[in-house]
Amino acid sequence: MNLTKVERLLVNYKTLEEFKKFKEYGLQELSMLEDLQANIIENDSDSPFYGVYYGDKLVARMSLYRVDKRFDQYFEPAQDYLELWKLEVLPDYQKRGYGQALVEFAKSFGLPIKTNPRVKSAHFWEKMGFVPVDYDMERDRGENPLVWYPKGVTAKES
Ligand code: COA
């Protein structure tokens, strides 16, 4: 049984400071910071990120974004799905089940999930039950997306 607690992260200066420890710190985080500074978003508003704390330290995180079925190019029948990205566990905390806990949390919504794996993480995703989608260069701009299907959902025929 996995007792790791996954939390929705709030956008505030503390969260953004914690994000700096992750390798995939980039435009998304910078624009959150700017929006916060310019009062475009409120302190403590919901973010698309979920994470795991060890004490008061953020040690693992992912971003989950719900895509409307009108834009679905992956599943049959077309439906809303989750785009999972920026899954990352800090080096000292890897292999303790935190990555798996985040993926299981994403699965608990009961929607299909699509992700673009980082290099060398293929084995982890395979263990999590993700499979490659039919590869369409133009659609995926050279990426190799992986998907997870909840019961009753299948790949779109190409
Ligand atoms: N290669 C092979 N198996 C892996 C793995 C890897 N890189 N990472 C995790 N696993 C396996 C674990 O052994 C475990 O299997 P088990 O239950 O049979 O023991 C299962 O996947 C779940 O592992 P978990 O402890 O939840 O993984 P994690 O918390 O370390 O999260 C990553 C996995 C990939 C998200 C995390 O390690 C990470 O962010 N890594 C840094 C970036 C990266 O992609 N590294 C790849 C290795 S260089």
pLDDT digits (tens, 9 = 90+) for 95-122: 999 999 999 999 999 999 999 988 788 8
Q: pLDDT: is 132 or 61 the higher one? A: 61
Mutate to test the pocket of ligand 1, among 4, 84, 88, 94 (most ligand atoms within 8 A of CB): 94
Total-model pTM = 0.90
pLDDT digits (tens, 9 = 90+) for 4-61: 999 999 999 999 999 999 999 999 999 999 999 999 999 998 899 999 999 999 999 9
Specify the pLDDT at position 56.
Answer: 93
Find out whether the beta carbon of 120 lies less than 6 Å from any atom of ligand 1. yes
Specify the pLDDT at position 18.
Answer: 96
- The shares of helix, strand and coil residues in the chain, as percent rounded to the nearest 5, are 30, 30, 40
User: In Å, how far are 44, 53, 150 from 76, measured between CA atoms?
Assistant: 37, 36, 12
Specify the pLDDT at position 2.
Answer: 56
User: Could you tell me if 79 and 112 are in contact, meaning their C-beta atoms sit under 8 angstroms apart?
Assistant: yes
Find out whether the beta carbon of 29 lies less than 6 Å from any atom of ligand 1. no
Q: Which domains does the chain have, with CATH numbers?
A: 6-155 (3.40.630.30)
pLDDT digits (tens, 9 = 90+) for 64-96: 999 999 999 888 888 999 999 999 999 999 999
Residue-wise over 92-122: b if at least 16 C-beta within 10 A, else e? ebeeebbbbbbbebbbeeebbbbbebeeeee
Find out whether the beta carbon of 92 lies less than 6 Å from any atom of ligand 1. no
**Closest C-alpha to 78, from 153, 28, 1:** 153
Ligand 1, residue 90: give the atom nearest the CA.
39
Burial of residue 39 (number of CB atoms within 10 Å: 0-12, 13-18, 19+): exposed
